[in-house]
């Protein structure tokens, strides 16, 4: 918890002195979203370029045969 507080303080100190509360809230929100995404990124299946191309080709074939792949 102390680390989060330190990160929030550091973020706020890095912002312009003319920033308002809404801007501070927005920056904290964005930082939280980025931190959560990075923390969860290892739990998400990642695809190589080849895997994506193969999957798209499979979908195109299914679609051309009248099957909705999604």
Q: Is residue 69 in a domain?
A: no
Q: What integer pLDDT is reported at residue 41 of this predicted model?
A: 84
Q: What integer pLDDT is reported at residue 43 of this predicted model?
A: 86
Q: What integer pLDDT is reported at residue 2 of this predicted model?
A: 86
Q: What integer pLDDT is reported at residue 66 of this predicted model?
A: 85
Tens of pLDDT along 11-27?
Answer: 999 999 999 999 999 99
Report CA-CA distances (Å) from 38 to 9, 42, 61. 20, 8, 35
Q: What integer pLDDT is reported at residue 40 of this predicted model?
A: 87
Q: What residue ranges of the chain have pLDDT lower than 50? A: none
The total number of structural domains in the chain stands at: 1
Q: What integer pLDDT is reported at residue 68 of this predicted model?
A: 82
Q: Write out the residue range of the structural domain in which residue 23 sits.
A: 1-42
Q: Is residue 6 in a domain?
A: yes
Q: Is residue 15 in a domain?
A: yes
Q: Is residue 17 in a domain?
A: yes
């Amino acid at each position: 918890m102390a680390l989060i507080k330190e990160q929030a303080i550091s973020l706020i100190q890095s912002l312009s002195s003319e920033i308002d509360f809404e801007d501070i809230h927005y920056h904290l929100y964005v930082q939280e979203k980025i931190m959560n995404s990075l923390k969860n990124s290892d739990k998400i299946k990642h695809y190589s370029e080849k895997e994506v191309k193969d999957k798209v080709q499979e979908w195109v074939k299914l679609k051309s045969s009248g099957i909705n792949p999604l």
